[in-house]
C-alpha cells in the first residue's frame, strides 16, 4: 500500500534543506537536538497537512476506542453510569469486572450463532456482489451502442441514499400487498413471506445488500479493466487463446490490485453493515437476520436497561475479528507477490 | 475495441443481460417514485398510477417536520462535505508526495478506522457528546461523519495524487511556490475528478447515515432525514404515502450531487482503487 511513496519529489525538496542544515549541525556537534529540529524543518509541511486527520481520528476514534475497551471490562449499564437527572448529578457506580464480559459472551451460544450468520452474510454478499459486478463490468468494457446509458442505469442505485433504497425494498417485499407477491400471484404462485420467514428473510437481506453494492464494484472494476492494455488481448488472440483463456490469464491478473482492494473494503463494510439489516428487518424475524453489529447496537440502544459494557465487549470482539481478517488477507496477498 | 466480430446471437445476449440488469437496478427507486404519486388508499395497488395526486407531497411538506429535518440534514452534510474534502485532500497529498516519519502508521490507521464497527464507538461517543452537551447539536454528527468518511477519502485521494506527475510540483517549486502554494494552486485544480468523487462519497455517507443520527438526535425538531423518515413507517404506523413522497424528496439532492460527480466517478475511483 504505502510502498511506492518514495517519490523523487521529496528527496529533492526535503534533502536540499536537510543536506545544508545537516552539514551545519554536524560541524556544531549537536546531533540529538539537531535531529529533531532537522526533522521538523524537513517534515513540518507534511505533518501540518496530515495534522487535521490525526487530530480528528485521535479524538473521535482514539478516545472512544479507549473508553470502549475500558467499558468492556466493567459492568456499566444505563443504571450505573454517570448521569444528570434534573439538577442532581449522580456519579458512576460501575466497577471493573475484568474479562467477565468476554467470558460470558464466548460461552454463550448466541454469539456463535450470530457470528456464523454474519460470516455467511459477508461471504455471500461479497462473493455475489463481486461476481455480478465483474460480469457487468466485462460486458460494459466493450464498445457498443447504448453503453453509456446502460452504465448510468446500472450505477443508479448508488445515487439513492441507502436508507431510501431500503424503504423502497420494504415496499416491494411487503407480504400482503408488495408488488413482488402480486406478480407471483399473477403467475399463480402463493405469496412468499419475504421478511417474515427466517430463511427467506436471510435471502432477502442479502439480495438487497447485493443490489446496493454492485454499483461500487462495477465502477471500480470497470476502471480496472480500462487500465489493462488492449494489446495484451490482441497478442493473446493471435496466439489462439479463447475468450475464457483470455479472461483467466489476462483479465483476472490485470484486475488483481483493484480486486484485492475492493474485496477487502467491501468485506469490512459488509461485516459492519448496519443500516440494511436494521431498517429492513430490525434483525428479525426473531433474531434470524441479526448480525454482530446490529446485535451490539441492540444491547446498548434498544434493550432496556441499556447494557453499555456488553455492547462494548461485542464491539471489541468484532474489531478483533476484522483485524485478524485484514492481517491474514494481507499476508496471503503478499505471498502471491502483491505489494499492497 | 475488439468486438467487430461479435455475432448476432452474442449481441442479443449482451443486450438482454444488460437490459435485465438495468431493470433490476432501476425498478425499486422507480417504484418508489410511482407509489409516491398514488393516493394513500392505493399505495399498494399494482396499477401504475390511476389517479395521480400530489397529496402525499403536500401532506409531507405541510403537515410534518420534513422541511426542518431537511434543513438539519443539509446543514450537517454541507459542512461535513466541505471540511471532509479539504482534510482528505491535504492528507492524501501529504502521503502521496512526502516521505515522512509516521507515514506508514498513518496509512495503517486510515485502513483500520474502516474496521471500526459502529457498535464499539457509539456508546463512548454518545457519552462524550452528552458530557460536552453536544447531543441534539449538529456538531456532534459533523464530527462523527468526518471520522467515517475521511479515512477512505484520504486513501482515495492519495491514489489520485499519485497519478498526477511530480514534474508539476517541481515546476511550482521552481517558480518559487512553497509546498502549500504548489498544492493549492497547481495540484488541486488538476485533482478535480478525485475531489468530485471524495465530495460525492462524503455527501452520500453523511446524507444516508442512520445509526449515529438516530442515537444522537432526539425530538422532532432535531432529527435528520434518515431518522425522520423512520417515523413514517415503524412498528406502529405505516404511512407509505408520506414515506414514499419524503423518500423521493430525500433522493433528489443526492441524485443531483451524483449526476454532477458521475462523469468523474470512473476516473476517480480507478485511481483510488488501483494505486492505493
pLDDT digits (tens, 9 = 90+) for A14-73: 333 333 333 333 444 445 567 777 777 777 888 888 888 888 888 777 888 888 888 888
Mean per-residue pLDDT of chain A: 79
Q: What would the grid cell of residue A81 be? A: 453510569
Contact A275 B208 (CB under 8 A): yes
Q: How far is A277 from chain B (nearest CA, A)?
A: 12
Instruction: Please report residues of B whose CB lies closer than 8 A to that of A314.
Output: 119-120
Give per-residue burial for A126-162: e unless 16+ CB within 10 Å, then b. bebbbebbbebbbbbbeeeeeeeebbbbbbbbbbbbb
Contact B123 A177 (CB under 8 A): no
> What does the pLDDT read at residue B271?
55
Q: Computed from CA positions of residues A96, A99, A104, A106, in that sequence, does the dihedral angle turn out positive or negative?
A: positive
Contact A49 B91 (CB under 8 A): yes
Query: Residue B204 in 3-state DSSP?
Result: helix
Q: What is the pLDDT of residues B34-64, one digit of tens each?
A: 888 888 766 666 566 666 778 888 888 888 8
> What does the pLDDT read at residue A21?
36
- For residue B80, pLDDT over 90 is answered with yes
Confirm if A163 and B226 have CB atoms less than 8 A apart: yes
Show Cβ contacts of residue B7 under 8 Å, excluding neighbours closer than 6 positions. none
Query: What span, in angstroms and rounded, lies between the C-alpha atoms of B116 and A318?
Result: 8
Confirm if B138 and B216 have CB atoms less than 8 A apart: no
- Confidence at B256, pLDDT banded by 50, 70, 90: confident
Show Cβ contacts of residue A254 under 8 Å, excluding neighbours closer than 6 positions. A224, A225, A227, A228, A232
Average pLDDT estimate for B167-175? 85
Contact A64 B128 (CB under 8 A): yes
- Confidence at A115, pLDDT banded by 50, 70, 90: very high
- Which of A14, A42, A46, A224 to mutate against chain B (most B CBs within 10 Å)? A46
Average pLDDT estimate for B24-37? 88
- For residue A230, pLDDT over 90 is answered with no
- Kindly identify which residue of chain B lies nearest to residue A262, measuring between CA atoms: B273
Instruction: Please report residues of B whose CB lies closer than 8 A to that of A284.
Output: none
According to CATH, the topology of domain A99-335 is MetI-like fold (1.10.3720)
- Kindly identify which residue of chain B lies nearest to residue A148, measuring between CA atoms: B263
Query: What span, in angstroms and rounded, lies between the C-alpha atoms of B163 and B148?
Result: 25
Confirm if B136 and B218 have CB atoms less than 8 A apart: yes
Window from A4-8, A137-141, B62-66, B230-234 with minimum mean pLDDT: A4-8
Higher pLDDT, A12 or A187: A187
Measured distance between the N- and C-terminal CA atoms of chain B, rounded to whole angstroms: 28
- Kindly identify which residue of chain B lies nearest to residue A225, measuring between CA atoms: B270
- For residue A214, pLDDT over 90 is answered with yes
Confirm if A166 and A275 have CB atoms less than 8 A apart: yes
When CB atoms are compared, the residue of A2, A13, A274 closest to B118 is A274
pLDDT above 90: percentage of residues in chain A: 11
Contact A60 B204 (CB under 8 A): no
Structural domain including B190 reads 56-273
Residue B201 falls within a domain, yes or no?
yes
Q: What would the grid cell of residue B267 be? A: 476516473
Cα radius of gyration rounded to whole Å, chain A: 27
- For residue A209, pLDDT over 90 is answered with yes
Q: Single out the residue of A254, A340, A229, A9 nearest to residue B164, CA to CA.
A: A9
Confirm if B204 and B257 have CB atoms less than 8 A apart: yes
> What does the pLDDT read at residue B46?
59
DSSP state of B2: -
Query: What span, in angstroms and rounded, lies between the C-alpha atoms of A249 and A210?
Result: 27
Query: What span, in angstroms and rounded, lies between the C-alpha atoms of A223 and A243?
Result: 20
> What does the pLDDT read at residue B267?
63
Residue B11 falls within a domain, yes or no?
no
> What does the pLDDT read at residue A16?
36
Window from A71-85, A130-144, A269-283, B250-264 with minimum mean pLDDT: A71-85
- Confidence at A313, pLDDT banded by 50, 70, 90: confident
Q: What would the grid cell of residue B187 be? A: 495540484
Residue B259 falls within a domain, yes or no?
yes
- For residue A163, pLDDT over 70 is answered with yes
Query: What span, in angstroms and rounded, lies between the C-alpha atoms of A173 and A279?
Result: 13
Consecutive H or E run containing B144: helix B138-162
- Kindly identify which residue of chain B lies nearest to residue A256, measuring between CA atoms: B274
Mean per-residue pLDDT of chain B: 81
* Number of independent structural domains in chain B: 1
Dihedral of the alpha carbons of A168, A171, A172, A175, in degrees to the nearest 10: 150
Q: Could you give phi then psi for residue A83, rounded to 5 degrees? A: -155, 165
Query: What span, in angstroms and rounded, lies between the C-alpha atoms of B200 and B153?
Result: 10
Please write down the HEC assignment for all residues of chain A. Answer: CHHHHCCCHHHHHHHHHHHHHHHHHHHHCCHHHHHHHHHHHHHHHHHHHHHHHHHHHHHHHHHHHHHHHHHCCECCCCCCCCEEECCEEECCCCCECCCHHHHHHHHCHHHHHHHHHHHHHHHHHHHHHHHHHHHHHHHHCCCCCCHHHHHHHHCHHHHCCHHHHHHHHHHHHCCCCCHHHHHHHHCCCCCCCCCCCHHHHHHHHHHHHHHHHHHHHHHHHHHHHHCCCHHHHHHHHHCCCCHHHHHHHHHHHHCHHHHHHHHHHHHHHHHCCCHHHHHHCCCCCCCCCCCHHHHHHHHHHHCCCCCHHHHHHHHHHHHHHHHHHHHHHHHHHHHCCCCC
Q: What is the pLDDT of residues B184-228, one digit of tens each?
A: 888 888 888 888 888 988 998 888 888 888 888 887 788 888 888
Instruction: Please report residues of B whose CB lies closer than 8 A to that of A10.
Output: 97-100
Query: What span, in angstroms and rounded, lies between the C-alpha atoms of A12 and A22?
Result: 15
Domain ranges of chain A: 99-335
Show Cβ contacts of residue B10 under 8 Å, excluding neighbours closer than 6 positions. none
Query: Residue B198 in 3-state DSSP?
Result: helix
B208 burial level (CB within 10 Å; 0-12, 13-18, 19+)? buried
Contact B250 A161 (CB under 8 A): yes
Residue B39 falls within a domain, yes or no?
no
- For residue A90, pLDDT over 60 is answered with yes
Consecutive H or E run containing B32: helix B8-36
Average pLDDT estimate for B23-38? 88
Contact A68 B44 (CB under 8 A): no
Average pLDDT estimate for B85-103? 86
As a residue count, chain B comes to 276
Q: Is B236 on the interface with A (CB under 8 A)?
A: no
Query: What span, in angstroms and rounded, lies between the C-alpha atoms of A29 and A55?
Result: 35
Show Cβ contacts of residue B20 under 8 Å, excluding neighbours closer than 6 positions. none
Residue B213 falls within a domain, yes or no?
yes
Higher pLDDT, B249 or A28: B249
What are the Cα distances from residue B227, in Å, to A61, B212, B238? 23, 9, 15
Q: What is the pLDDT of residues A256-296, one digit of tens each?
A: 877 887 888 899 889 888 888 888 888 778 788 888 888 88
> What does the pLDDT read at residue A6?
36
Cα radius of gyration rounded to whole Å, chain B: 23
Higher pLDDT, A154 or A1: A154
Tally A–B CB contacts below 8 A. Answer: 324
- Kindly identify which residue of chain B lies nearest to residue A43, measuring between CA atoms: B100
Window from A262-271, B18-27, B219-228, B236-245 with minimum mean pLDDT: B236-245
Q: Among the ranges A99-108, A122-131, A170-179, A298-307, which has the highest mean pLDDT value?
A: A122-131
Query: What span, in angstroms and rounded, lies between the C-alpha atoms of A215 and A153?
Result: 10
pLDDT above 70: percentage of residues in chain B: 86
Q: Is A265 on the interface with B (CB under 8 A)?
A: yes
Q: What would the grid cell of residue A286 be? A: 426473531
Q: Single out the residue of B148, B207, B215, B119 nearest to residue A299, CA to CA.
A: B119
CATH of the domain at B197: 1.10.3720.10
Amino acid at each position: 500500500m504505502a510502498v511506492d511513496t518514495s517519490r523523487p519529489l521529496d528527496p529533492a525538496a526535503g534533502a536540499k534543506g536537510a543536506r545544508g542544515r545537516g552539514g551545519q549541525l554536524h560541524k556544531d556537534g549537536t546531533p540529538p537536538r539537531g535531529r529533531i529540529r532537522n526533522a521538523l524543518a524537513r517534515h513540518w509541511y507534511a505533518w501540518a497537512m496530515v495534522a487535521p486527520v490525526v487530530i480528528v481520528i485521535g479524538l473521535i476514534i482514539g478516545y472512544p476506542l479507549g473508553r470502549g475497551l475500558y467499558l468492556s471490562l466493567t459492568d456499566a449499564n444505563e443504571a450505573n453510569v454517570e448521569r444528570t437527572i434534573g439538577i442532581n448529578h449522580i456519579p458512576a457506580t460501575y466497577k471493573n469486572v475484568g474479562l467477565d464480559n468476554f467470558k460470558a459472551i464466548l460461552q454463550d451460544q448466541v454469539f456463535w450463532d450470530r457470528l456464523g450468520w454474519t460470516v455467511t452474510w459477508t461471504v455471500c454478499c461479497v462473493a455475489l456482489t463481486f461476481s455480478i459486478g465483474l460480469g457487468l463490468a466485462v460486458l460494459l468494457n466493450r464498445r457498443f451502442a447504448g453503453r453509456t446509458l446502460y452504465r448510468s442505469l446500472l450505477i443508479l442505485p448508488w445515487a439513492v441514499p441507502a436508507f431510501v433504497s431500503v424503504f423502497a425494498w420494504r415496499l416491494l417485499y411487503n407480504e400482503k400487498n408488495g408488488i413482488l407477491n402480486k406478480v407471483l400471484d399473477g403467475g399463480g404462485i402463493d405469496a412468499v413471506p419475504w421478511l417474515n420467514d427466517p430463511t427467506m428473510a436471510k435471502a432477502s437481506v442479502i439480495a438487497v445488500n447485493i443490489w446496493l453494492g454492485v454499483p461500487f464494484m462495477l465502477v471500480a472494476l470497470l476502471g480496472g479493466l480500462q487500465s489493462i492494455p488492449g494489446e495484451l488481448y490482441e497478442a493473446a488472440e493471435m496466439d489462439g487463446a479463447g475468450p475464457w483463456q483470455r479472461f483467466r490469464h489476462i483479465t483476472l491478473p490485470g484486475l488483481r490490485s483493484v480486486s484485492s482492494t475492493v474485496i477487502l473494503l467491501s468485506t469490512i463494510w459488509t461485516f459492519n453493515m448496519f443500516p440494511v439489516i436494521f431498517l429492513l428487518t430490525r434483525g428479525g424475524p426473531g433474531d434470524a437476520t441479526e448480525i454482530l453489529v446490529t446485535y451490539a447496537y441492540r444491547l446498548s440502544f434498544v434493550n432496556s436497561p441499556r447494557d453499555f459494557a456488553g455492547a462494548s465487549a461485542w464491539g471489541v470482539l468484532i474489531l478483533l475479528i476484522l483485524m485478524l481478517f485484514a492481517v491474514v488477507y494481507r499476508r496471503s496477498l503478499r505471498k502471491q507477490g502483491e505489494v499492497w | 475495441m475488439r468486438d467487430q466480430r461479435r455475432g448476432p446471437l452474442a449481441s442479443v445476449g449482451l443486450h438482454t443481460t444488460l437490459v435485465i440488469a438495468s431493470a433490476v437496478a432501476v425498478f425499486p427507486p422507480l417504484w418508489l417514485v410511482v407509489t409516491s404519486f398514488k393516493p394513500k388508499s392505493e399505495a399498494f395497488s399494482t396499477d401504475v398510477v390511476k389517479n395521480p395526486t400530489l397529496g402525499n407531497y403536500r401532506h409531507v411538506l405541510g403537515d410534518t417536520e420534513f422541511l426542518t429535518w431537511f434543513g438539519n440534514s443539509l446543514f450537517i452534510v454541507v459542512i461535513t462535505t466541505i471540511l471532509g474534502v479539504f482534510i482528505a485532500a491535504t492528507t492524501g497529498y501529504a502521503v502521496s508526495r512526502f516521505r515522512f516519519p509516521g507515514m506508514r502508521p498513518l496509512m495503517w490507521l486510515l485502513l483500520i478506522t474502516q474496521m471500526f464497527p459502529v457498535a464499539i464507538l457509539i456508546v463512548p461517543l454518545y457519552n462524550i457528546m452528552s458530557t460536552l452537551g453536544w447531543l441534539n447539536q449538529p456538531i456532534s454528527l459533523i464530527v462523527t461523519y468526518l471520522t467515517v468518511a475521511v479515512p477512505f477519502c484520504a486513501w482515495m485521494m492519495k491514489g489520485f495524487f499519485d497519478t498526477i506527475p511530480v514534474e508539476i510540483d517541481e515546476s511550482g517549486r521552481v517558480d518559487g511556490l512553497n509546498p502549500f502554494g504548489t498544492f493549492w494552486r497547481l495540484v488541486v485544480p488538476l485533482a478535480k475528478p478525485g475531489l468530485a468523487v471524495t465530495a460525492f462519497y462524503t455527501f452520500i455517507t453523511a446524507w444516508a447515515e442512520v445509526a449515529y443520527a438516530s442515537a444522537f438526535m432526539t425530538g422532532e425538531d432535531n432529527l435528520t432525514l434518515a431518522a425522520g423518515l423512520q417515523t413514517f413507517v415503524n412498528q406502529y404506523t405505516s404511512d407509505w404515502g408520506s414515506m414514499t413522497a419524503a423518500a423521493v424528496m430525500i433522493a433528489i439532492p443526492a441524485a443531483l450531487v451524483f449526476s454532477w460527480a458521475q462523469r468523474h466517478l470512473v476516473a476517480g475511483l480507478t485511481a483510488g482503487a488501483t494505486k492505493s
